[in-house]
Amino acid sequence: MNNKIFGYVRVSSKDQNEARQIETMKREGIDERDTYIDKASGKNFDRPKYQLLKQMVREGDTVIFDSITRMGRNMNETMNEYDWFVEKNVQLRFIKEPMINTSNEQEDIMKQAIQKIILTLLTAFAEKERDEIRTRQAEGIAIAQTKGIKFGRPVIDLSEEWKPLYDRWKTKQITAVQFMTKIGMSKATFYRKVKEYEESNKLN
């Protein structure tokens, strides 16, 4: 049975584009069906395609990553995952950090030690970078909030205007469209809020 080469691609969120990494895998001659893509944080390894990849690899296979950061950004867990592949005799190749690529050949003990040190440093930097990104994001959100910028779904305030409008709508004095327009809600939000209001007031 021929050994296979797999590619793994990861971006941190659904908003990021994985195209560059996919092109890298194509240049390495990896079949598209053998490239596994996750859109998830590198903080842990609870990623569906990564876990599927681990189920697919066999002894002698090779997995290619664009960078160690695409494998993970948690130092201890990333090093454990690296060792898992080594123990399974699955070769690892990192395009940007070839010095930590693994090999089937018996390597000198000093070379292994140096490689381990480099891996430790790279994964530590990856985790530190992730923490710094999270800190900058939190600081940016805090600054934006002080300027009145809100994040997430807007909270609908059922103000004093709601009940009289609701009563007029229920007695057919105004239409649902007029009600929505006056309170500034979309149709979906309007009927959801009506349901919540009626349930909370036991008006069903």
**Amino acid occupying residue 137:** Q
Q: Are 104 and 60 in contact (CB under 8 A)?
A: yes
In angstroms, rounded to a whole number, what is the distance separating the alpha carbons of residues 125 and 120? 9
Look-up of token digits 């009506």: 194
In angstroms, rounded to a whole number, what is the distance separating the alpha carbons of residues 193 and 201? 12
In angstroms, rounded to a whole number, what is the distance separating the alpha carbons of residues 100 and 86? 12
In angstroms, rounded to a whole number, what is the distance separating the alpha carbons of residues 198 and 201? 5
Task: Determine what percent of the chain falls in helix, strand and coil, rounding each to the nearest 5.
Answer: 55, 10, 35
Q: Is 41 known to be catalytic?
A: no
Count CA atoms within 13 Å of residue 147 on its CB side: 8
From the list 12, 41, 186, 200, the catalytic residue is 12
User: Could you list the active site residues?
Assistant: 12
